[in-house]
A and B are shown apart, each in its own frame.
Chain A
Amino acid sequence: NAGVTQTPKFRVLKTGQSMTLLCAQDMNHEYMYWYRQDPGMGLRLIHYSVGEGTTAKGEVPDGYNVSRLKKQNFLLGLESAAPSQTSVYFCASSYGGSQNTEAFFGQGTRLTVV
């Protein structure tokens, strides 16, 4: 049982490049989330999804796009990376709704934009 798996674990991008971060969960969770973690800022929600085919904006969505074409996968895209997007990105999933009792996190992706 892998839980939540993020790919890749590390990446260095040049300003203006694009990339996609992949999150996969095998717990049949409805809800999935993308957070970024920066020193002193805690975890800030970028985008989230409450089910296959749905996405919604979180607290800091600008510069990011997401897709949830399959229930088990949640992709985070950066179309034109900026140094301000240097961060550690975490994906999480949960049952959501009335069963929203725990979120399970991936190990994180450390992204550096130079």
Chain B
Amino acid sequence: AQSVTQLDSQVPVFEEAPVELRCNYSSSVSVYLFWYVQYPNQGLQLLLKYLSGSTLVESINGFEAEFNKSQTSFHLRKPSVHISDTAEYFCAVSDQGGSEKLVFGKGTKLTVNP
């Protein structure tokens, strides 16, 4: 069975600072990896995903994540954050065998301060 660990429950940063949100997973099979974002009082939206190929994946709003198989990690980074990036971020995993389940981490609340 898969599991996801998000190492930080809250990350406060100042605007224009870099940020890294950490995610580690465990699985006995090859996986798909996802980052979802949840803005206040909204549902979750897909931010980016790793399916195969290049281990570095990017989103349209400047976030990127790198799949590291040896360290079983999929950390999310952004070189310069904006106030509007304030949200909760969830890492998720499903296995490439077509598992029915999408398993989420407990989330990291990113707060960007002026």
Contacts and interface: CB of A to CB of B under 8 A. Distances in A.
Contacts of B44: 43, 90, 92, 103, 105
A56 interface: yes
B102 A94 contact: yes
A101 B49 contact: yes
A41 interface: yes
Contacts of A33: 102
Given A98-B98, A102-B49, A42 B43 contact: no
Contacts of A101: 32, 49, 51
B106 interface: yes
B101 A107 contact: no
A80 B92 CA distance: 31
B70 interface: no
Contact of A92 (B6, B32, B100, B102): B102
Interface string A30-46: 01010100001111110
Q: Classify chain B's interface size.
A: 20 to 34
Contacts of B98: 96-98, 100
A55 to B, nearest CB: 11
Interface string A44-56: 1100101000001
Interface in B15-64: 32, 34, 36, 42-46, 49, 51
Contact of A42 (B46, B51, B90): B90
Given A40-B9, A42-B90, A100-B94, A105 B102 contact: no
A82 to B, nearest CB: 23
A61 interface: no
7 contacts: A31-B100, A42-B90, A42-B106, A43-B107, A90-B43, A100-B94, A103-B46
Given A42-B90, A42-B105, A43-B44, 4 more contacts: A35-B104, A43-B107, A45-B103, A103-B102
Interface of A: 4, 31, 33, 35, 40-45, 48, 50, 56, 58, 90, 92, 94, 96-98, 100-103, 105-108
